[in-house]
Amino acid sequence: MFTFSSRRSELPCDAGVVLLWGNHWWIGGRARPVPIENPEHPESSLLRAFADGQRPKKIRVLYQPDCLVSIPVPCPPGNRRIVQAALQQEYPALVDDLHAWSYEPVARLPISTRTLLHYETEPALYALTAALLANGVEVVAAWPLASALNALPPDWPETGAFAVVAVSETHALVYRHAADGTRDVEVILPEQREFRVREIIQRAVAKSEVAFHLAALDAASREEVAPWLGSIEMMDWDDLMLAATTLSRQQSNQLLPASADVWLNRGLLALTASALAGIVILGADIGREILESKEAGALRATEVAGLHTDIEALRKNEAEAARLSSEIAALAPGKPVVAELLRTVGRTLPPTAVLTRLQASRAGFEVSGGLVEPGLNEAGWRMWRTALESDRWSLANVADAIPRATFVFKGSFR
C-alpha cells in the first residue's frame, strides 16, 4: 500500500511560493490549480486567484511554462558569464536580453564537465515579473521546476542516484540525477502522460537501484497514481513548496539576474516590444543597458571564441571516452591497466584542465589537453603529476615548468 506524506506543518506561512506549469498556476492553500485564461497575460489569473487582502508582496516562482527547455550540455566550469560565453553560439537565447536562462551547478565527470541548461525558447518571464511588480507583487527569484525537484527528496541516497516525478492532472515531468552527477529532465507530453507515468512508476517498483520519489500536485493525480505506487511514498504540492524555500537566490539555477533593476528593465522592454505602447517607459535606462550590453559583448568576442573551443574540446572528451572504451575492449592483455589509466586520468583531472586526447596501446600512452583560466599554479601542477604516478606505468618527459596553455604526458606500461 502506498504511503502519503506531507510536510505542510513545517511550511512557513509566509513562504509565498507559486508554480507556473504549462497553462496553470499552483498557489498555497488552494486544493486545485488555477487555469491561465489568457496565455499572453498569465499574471492576471494569478492576481485574481489571491484572496481579498491576502495578495503577497513578495513571491518565489517555480517556472515551468511550455517554452522552457532543460537540456544536459557539456560546458567548462565557471560562473554565469563564462557559461554564457561558452554556449551562446549553440544557444543564442543566452545572449538575448529578453530570454531568461540559468544552469545547474557544473558537474565534474571523469572525462568531461556538464551542466543542465535551462532557457526560454520564447521570452516570457521578464514580462511576467514586470507585470506582477506593477500590481504590487515582487518576484524575488524564479527557478525551473527541476531545481525544486532536486531539493525534494528528504534524504540524499548514498549512491547519489535518484529520480523524481512530478505529476498533475494535465502534466508530468521527470528529473533524474545519476550517481556521477549527470542530470537530465524529461518533459512528458499531455497525450502520453498516463502511459509514461505508469511505466516509470512500475519500473521503479520493480527495481530499487535508484531512489525514486513522486510528487502528485493535485487530488486528481494522487487518486490516479495511487494504485501503481506499491510502497513508494507520495508527496504533494506542500512538499514541493517547502523544497522551494530551501533554494538559494544566489545559485546558478536561479532564472532572474541578481539585480532587480536589470530584470525590471528587461521586463518593461519585453512588454513594450509586444504591445508597442510604452514608448518612453524608462527609455534612457533601457537604452543604456542595451548599449552597455553591446559594448560588453564586443569586448568579450575573443573570450567567446576561446570558450567555444573549450566546448568543442569537452565534446571531443566524450567522443574520446567512447573510442577508448572500444580500444580497451580490444586490448586483451593490456585491458586492465589501460582501464586503470583512464580512471586515474579522469579522477585526477584538475577543474581548469580540458582533456583533448588520450592514446593508449601496449607500447605506451600519451595524454594531452589544454588549460582554461586561471590555469594551474605550481602546487596544483606538482600535485597532479604526483597523482598520475602508479606502479603499473611510468611517466616520461614530463616538464618541470608549469604548462601555460597545453599539456602532454607520455609514459609506458610496466
The domain that holds 366 is classified in CATH as: 3.30.1360
CA angle at 70 for the pair 237 and 323, rounded to the nearest 5°:
130
Residue 333 has pLDDT above 60, yes or no: no
C-alpha to C-alpha distance for 405 and 212, rounded to whole angstroms:
44
- pLDDT, average across residues 233-243: 91
Which segment, 96-100, 306-310, 358-362, is predicted with the most confidence on average? 96-100
Cell of 210: 535508484
Q: Are residues 88 and 171 in the same domain?
A: yes
Higher pLDDT, 154 or 296: 154
Q: Quick one: pLDDT at residue 334?
A: 44
Same domain, 401 and 288: no
Same domain, 287 and 344: no
Exposed e or buried b per residue across 255-276, where buried means at least 16 C-beta atoms within 10 angstroms of its C-beta: bbbeeeeebbbbbbbbbbeeee
pLDDT of res. 265: 54
In this structure, the answer to whether residues 282 and 386 fall within a common structural domain is no
Q: Looking at the structure, do residues 353 and 289 belong to the same domain, yes or no?
A: no
pLDDT over 80 at 248, yes or no:
yes
Question: Which residue is listed with cell 536561479?
Answer: 254
**What does the alpha-carbon distance between residue 402 and residue 366 come to, in Å, rounded to a whole number?**
18
**Rounded CA gap, 405 and 353, in Å?**
9
For residue 99 the three cell numbers come to 530570454
DSSP 240: H
Spatial separation of the C-alpha atoms in residues 112 and 353, rounded to whole Å: 10
User: What is d(CA 351, CA 310) in angstroms, rounded to the nearest whole number?
Assistant: 13
Who wins on pLDDT, 375 or 213?
Answer: 213
Per-residue burial over 348-359, b = 16 or more CB atoms within 10 Å of its CB, e = otherwise:
ebbebbbbbebe
Model confidence, pTM: 0.65
Domain count, the chain: 2
Q: State the DSSP string of 82-142.
A: HHHHHHTTT-GGGG-TTS-EEEPPPEE-SS-EEEEEEEESS--HHHHHHHHHHTT-EEEEE
Reference 61, options 90, 102, 113, 92; nearest CA is: 102
Least confident of 201-205, 241-245, 325-329: 325-329
User: What is the rounded average pLDDT of the residues 365-371?
Assistant: 76
pLDDT tens digit sequence for 5-49 = 444 434 443 448 999 999 999 998 787 899 999 999 999 999 999
Contacts of 14 (CB under 8 A, 6+ apart): 56
pLDDT for 194 beyond 60: yes
Residue 224 lies in a domain: yes
pLDDT one-digit tens code per residue, 279-326: 333 333 434 443 444 444 444 444 555 555 555 655 555 555 555 555
Pair 242, 383 in one domain: no
Are residues 265 and 286 in contact, defined by beta-carbon separation less than 8 angstroms?
Answer: yes
Predicted local confidence at residue 406, as pLDDT: 75
Which pLDDT score, from 0 to 100, does residue 256 have? 92
Average pLDDT, the chain: 77
Are residues 7 and 78 located together in one domain of the fold?
yes
Is 406 part of any domain?
yes
Choose between 181 and 262: higher pLDDT.
181
Q: Give the residue from 298, 316, 342 where a domain finishes.
A: 298
pLDDT at 134 over 70: yes
Q: Is residue 317 part of a domain?
A: no
Asked if residue 320 belongs to a domain, the reply is no
Whether residue 214 sits in one domain with residue 91: yes
- Asked whether residue 271 falls in the same domain as residue 208, the answer is yes
Residues 115 and 157 in one domain: yes
* 259 and 363 housed in the same domain: no
Question: CA 409 to CA 388: how far, in whole Å?
Answer: 9
Q: Identify the pLDDT of residue 5.
A: 42
Q: End of a domain among 283, 298, 313?
A: 298
Please determine, for residue 331, whether its predicted confidence score (pLDDT) is greater than 50. Answer: no
Q: Give the residues across from 413 on adjacent strands.
A: 393
| In-domain check, residue 7 | yes
Q: Domain boundary at 243, 278, 298, which?
A: 298
Range of the domain at 342: 331-413
Phi-psi map region of 331: left, alpha, beta (phi>0 left; psi -120 to 50 alpha): beta
pLDDT at 367 over 70: yes
pLDDT at 278 over 60: no
Provide the pLDDT for residue 53.
Answer: 66
* Distance between CA atoms of residues 115 and 296, nearest Å: 25
408 and 263 in a single domain? The answer is no
In a domain, 306, yes or no: no
For residue 324 the three cell numbers come to 577508448
Least confident of 48-57, 77-86, 247-256, 327-336: 327-336
Better-predicted residue by pLDDT, 24 or 114: 24
pLDDT value of position 266: 56
Examine residue 316 and state whether it is found in any structural domain, yes or no. Answer: no
What is d(CA 410, CA 414) in angstroms, rounded to the nearest whole number? 13
Q: Is the residue at 322 inside a domain?
A: no
Q: Report residue 373's pLDDT band, with 50, 70 and 90 as the boundaries.
A: low
